[in-house]
Amino acid sequence: MKINFICKLLSVLVAGIFIYAGILKILDPSQFLIDIQNYHILPYQIAVVLALYLPWLEILCGISIFIHQFNRGALVILFGLMIIFMVALTSAWLRGIDISCGCFGKAVHKTSFLHVILRDAGILIVIGILIFKNSLKEMTAPGIVR
């Protein structure tokens, strides 16, 4: 019962983070494009597509966490996104690129690598816990014979 409550709380937290981040980016896609370009990984045109697409994916997945039929899919996508963000961030850091991570649009300007990577790792762990909890629930759900 207590674990269920904590998981609900974590779901709200994760959903809130991604909806907030998505809305901030969608308010100024040109700024988000600059943030993506800061990583020096993608060609310009692909960066433009991502700047337009990624915020909506984050918002939709954030909302879908609360929709039973899409809950697991949304968490798996967000888990994948976090891994991609962390790989991109680490790659930029290893190349000595001083970046504004672009994680929260214009809300965060100065970026400390350690701070961002720890925050992202925290979010990744929480999403992992939620996926695990959901899988467990699915396996033990009545009607599923193993």
Partner 1 sequence: MIFRQIIILIVLPLFPALITGLAHPKRPSWNENQLLADEIALSSAIKLTDRLWVDARSASDYEKDHIPGALLLNEDAWDELLAAVLLEWSPEKTIVVYCSSSQCQTSREVAKRLRETVGIELVFVLKGGWEAWQDSKNSSSEFR
**Positions that interact with partner 1 (CB under 8 A):** 26-31, 33-34, 37-38, 44-45, 48-49, 51-53, 56-57, 59-61, 64, 69-70, 72-74, 76-77, 100, 109
| Spatial distance between the Cα atoms of 111 and 134, rounded to a whole number of angstroms | 33
Q: Which is nearer to partner 1, 55 or 120 (CB)?
A: 55
Under 8 Å between Cβ of 78 and 61: yes
Residues ≥6 apart with Cβ < 8 Å to 104: 20, 21, 24
CB of 28 to partner 1, least distance (A): 5
Q: Which is nearer to partner 1, 30 or 140 (CB)?
A: 30
Take residue 143 and report the two structure tokens written for it. 């009607």
Torsion angle defined by CA atoms of residues 96, 84, 27 and 107, in that order, rounded to the nearest 10 degrees: -50
Q: Which is nearer to partner 1, 17 or 61 (CB)?
A: 61
Q: Which is nearer to partner 1, 1 or 72 (CB)?
A: 72
CB of 77 to partner 1, least distance (A): 6
